[in-house]
């Protein structure tokens, strides 16, 4: 099938932007493959899930149905860390709920001799993270561990930086777009009105952080006051918050109370 024919079919199914991205990333489209991708577009499957790749912080990542697709909102989290870490060129980083590994990979790529540990409780998500770590030639710098931040896992080191984009959507939240229905539910939804993961992290992560370290958290819309209260009650001090490109409070930064 010619590319222009494929473009027309895909545009009809999912719009011009989706058609452009897909045709730019498939070299020899067969008719069967194009028709299948058009079917997926009509079902609301995100383009990244169809071509199995998504750019994040200038880096191309592999993604599939077992992980969240990297999102622009999360680049705010990476930027918040990089803005603070310029004086420490070899920080130890812990990424809680790593998914594709996009956060820790982007940080290690941009922070000199940084290294760290990527944690997820999903075996399938960790396979995706490992693939991205290998593809980006970061296997000597980033290790993966199957664990959950719901439990006080024993690491053999303290970390200068802890980052997390945990599940934070309340199970009954109707604002979730159709694309998110193709992401794993365990990476999206959390009990206690979306706050359960933050309660676990606030309780357990304090033992993983170095004395002068900081934890950086992505949060959902309007969750700031509740999450600040959770962390302060568990012995953390709020350092600051950061807003995303839509002027939504998106990142909270905490340190251990001394």
CA distance 233 to 210: 19
Q: Are 100 and 127 in contact (CB under 8 A)?
A: no
User: Hey, what are 62's tokens?
Assistant: 């592999």
Q: Is the CATH number 3.40.50.720 carried by domain 55-60+65-256?
A: no
Nearest to 218 by CA among 229, 227, 208: 227
Q: Is 20 exposed, middle or buried (0-12, 13-18, 19+ CB in 10 A)?
A: middle
pLDDT-derived band at 176 (thresholds 50, 70, 90) equals: confident
pTM (predicted TM-score): 0.93
The Cα–Cα gap between 76 and 243 comes to 7
- CB hemisphere CA count around 24 (13 angstroms): 9
Domain boundaries, the chain: 3-43, 55-60+65-256
Q: How far apart are CA 232 and CA 89, in angstroms?
A: 29
Tokens 């918040």 locate to 80
Residue 186, pLDDT score: 87
Which residues, 6+ apart, have CB-to-CB distance to 91 below 8 Å? 85, 111, 114, 116, 159, 160, 161
Burial letters for 120-129: b for 16+ Cβ neighbours within 10 Å, e otherwise?
bbbeebbebb
Average pLDDT over residues 12-29: 90
36-94 residue pLDDT tens: 999 999 999 999 999 999 999 999 999 999 999 999 999 999 999 999 987 677 899 99
Inform me whether the pLDDT recorded for 258 exceeds 80. no
C-alpha separations of 26 from 8, 206, 254 in Å = 14, 46, 43
């Amino acid at each position: 099938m010619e590319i222009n024919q494929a473009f027309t079919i895909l545009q009809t199914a999912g719009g011009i932007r989706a058609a452009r991205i897909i045709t730019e990333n498939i070299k020899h489209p067969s008719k069967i493959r194009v028709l299948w991708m058009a079917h997926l577009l009509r079902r609301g499957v995100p383009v990244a899930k169809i071509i199995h790749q998504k750019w994040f912080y200038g880096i191309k990542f592999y993604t599939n149905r077992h992980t969240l697709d990297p999102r622009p909102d999360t680049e705010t989290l990476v930027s918040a860390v990089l803005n603070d870490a310029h004086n420490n060129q070899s920080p130890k980083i812990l990424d809680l709920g790593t998914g594709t590994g996009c956060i820790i990979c982007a940080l290690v790529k941009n922070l000199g001799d940084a290294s760290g540990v990527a944690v997820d409780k999903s075996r399938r998500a960790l396979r995706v993270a490992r693939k991205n770590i290998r593809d980006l030639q970061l296997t000597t710098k980033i290790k993966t561990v199957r664990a959950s931040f719901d439990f006080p896992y024993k690491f053999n080191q303290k970390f200068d930086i802890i980052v997390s984009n945990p599940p934070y959507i309340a199970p009954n939240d109707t604002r979730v777009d159709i694309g998110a229905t193709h992401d794993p539910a365990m990476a999206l939804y959390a009990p206690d009105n979306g706050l359960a993961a933050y309660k676990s992290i606030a309780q357990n992560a304090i033992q993983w952080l170095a004395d002068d370290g900081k934890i950086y958290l992505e949060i959902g819309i309007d969750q700031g006051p509740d999450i600040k209260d959770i962390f302060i009650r568990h012995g953390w001090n709020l350092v600051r918050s950061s807003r995303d490109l839509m002027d939504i409070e998106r990142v909270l930064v905490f340190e251990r109370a001394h």
